[in-house]
Amino acid sequence: MQQMTLNPRIVEIRQNVLKKNDLLARELRKRFRETGVYVVNLVSSPGAGKTTLLTEMLTRLGERYGVAALVGDLATENDAERLRQSGAKVRQITTGTVCHLEADMIERSLEGWNLEDIDFLFIENVGNLVCPASYDLGENQRVVLFSVTEGEDKPVKYPTIVNSADVAVITKIDLAEAVGFQRDRFNEALNEVRPGIPILEVSVRTGEGIDEWISRLEAAKEAFEKTVGSS
Amino acid sequence: MHELSIAHSLVEIAVETAENARMKRVKALYLKLGALSGVVKEALEFSFDVVIQGTPLEGARLVIEDVPVKVFCPDCQEAHKLPEPFPMRCPVCGTRTGQVLEGRELELYSLEGGEGDAADDAKPPNC
């Protein structure tokens, strides 16, 4: 290696390939911080229940806070329309063939929104447990969702996204018994790839765990505001 | 298949660097790829070959150095490389740890130019 660096035809670069995205994400994070917007990036496979849980979050938090959502999908406005029923500001990001959201898509989608009016911004990523892992969107927390129907070894099959997440939410917990969900095995799998990750169980249908999840988000927002105030 | 987007970024950075260095032809790109980068090596290699068509990088080789995961073990108070990225346990004492020190890299660290470049005129140091 040493010899190579002495070769005049070798140019040293040492540059993160995703530098553009990461710089933009950093700028976004700064903007969000300055305007007091707490940002949550939701990632999961298709069908894990992101939109259903998000509708619930927007409705509940919308009673006391300014809430907004950006929703990524390859095509259709369907999810945005569902979410708009909560009364929140919602924009769909249709990515065409792109399997994840990137920081510049977030930046473009914020155009015309007054960030001062927003307390919580939720980003529903494209349903995919692989590609969204590599892209920082300027979020405060990344939440990975799994439904009880997905199998206990799902976290070890898609370890990178779990490893990049801050919280894991298990959805459709009301179906746990019916599908023979093995809670211990699932939690063990999560801890193998992201030791110590907080795990919450929810069901939008029965309301189980939702209060706790909402309180957790509010507490995170409060802690975020304190750090904003102290800077 | 986000490796195609990543290959585009990679080529963009390399073309710009080659131009700035007055490198007419790029023979090889050297990339560090962490086991936790979320990038599949084979998919990136495939995408790279597709993306370089018709660019100044056409014909260049992509040389990938795999970077294993290195964690800090709170029990041993030492850094250790993991033989496999998962499970995230200290390979010495078996304690779980999420303190990742290395393994998330996706870094283009050098370019190798071809013969007959302007850079050929430059003398290597200590000659």
CA dist B83 → A162, A163, B90, B119 (Å) = 19, 17, 10, 40
Chain A residues closer than 8 Å to B85 by CB: 159
Chain B residues closer than 8 Å to A196 by CB: 96, 98
pLDDT of residue A7: 61
Q: Which domains does chain A have, with CATH numbers?
A: 9-230 (3.40.50.300)
Q: Is A49 within 8 Å of A175 (Cβ atoms)?
A: no
Pick A17's closest partner by Cβ from B6, B27, B123.
B6
Residue B117 pLDDT > 80 = no
Is B127 labeled as ligand-binding?
A: no
Which one has a higher pLDDT value, B94 or A79? B94
Residue B116 pLDDT > 90 = no
Res. A2 pLDDT band, cuts 50 70 90: very low
Residue B76 pLDDT > 50 = yes
Rounded mean pLDDT of chain B? 90
Q: Which residue has the tokens 């078996």?
A: B94
Q: Residue B88 and residue A193: Cβ atoms within 8 Å?
A: yes
Rounded mean pLDDT of chain A? 93
Q: Is B6 within 8 Å of B29 (Cβ atoms)?
A: no
CA pair distance A73, A125, nearest whole angstrom:
7
Res. B115 pLDDT band, cuts 50 70 90: low
Q: What is the ipTM of this complex?
A: 0.81
Residue B124 pLDDT > 60 = no
Q: List the end-to-end C-alpha distance of chain B, in Å, as a whole number.
A: 47
The secondary element (H helix, E strand) that includes residue B108 is strand B106-113
CA pair distance A28, B29, nearest whole angstrom:
31
Give the whole-number percent of chain A exceeding pLDDT 90: 83
Residue A6 pLDDT > 60 = no
Res. A8 pLDDT band, cuts 50 70 90: low
Q: Residue B86 and residue A156: Cβ atoms within 8 Å?
A: yes
Res. B123 pLDDT band, cuts 50 70 90: very low
Least confident window among A76-80, A130-134, A168-172, B29-33: A76-80
What is the distance of C-alpha B55 from the center of its chain? 20
Residue A143 pLDDT > 90 = yes
Strand ranges in chain A using DSSP code E only, listed in sequence order: 10-16, 38-44, 67-73, 89-94, 120-124, 141-147, 167-171, 199-201
Taking the CB of residue B79, how many other CB atoms lie within 10 A of it? 13
CA A153 to chain B, closest CA, distance in angstroms equals 13
pLDDT of residue A231: 55
Res. A162 pLDDT band, cuts 50 70 90: very high
Residue A153 pLDDT > 50 = yes
- Angle CA(A224)–CA(A147)–CA(A85) in degrees, nearest 5? 65
DSSP string, B26-83: EEEEEEEEETTS---HHHHHHHHHHHTTTSTTTT-EEEEEEE--EEEETTTTEEEE-S
Q: Which residues in chain A (17-36) have CB-CB distances under 8 A to chain B?
A: 17-21
Question: What residues are paired with B61 via a beta bridge?
Answer: B28
The secondary element (H helix, E strand) that includes residue B109 is strand B106-113
Q: Which domains does chain B have, with CATH numbers?
A: 3-114 (3.30.2320.80)
Residue A226, chain B, CB below 8 Å: the answer is no
CA pair distance B56, A174, nearest whole angstrom:
57
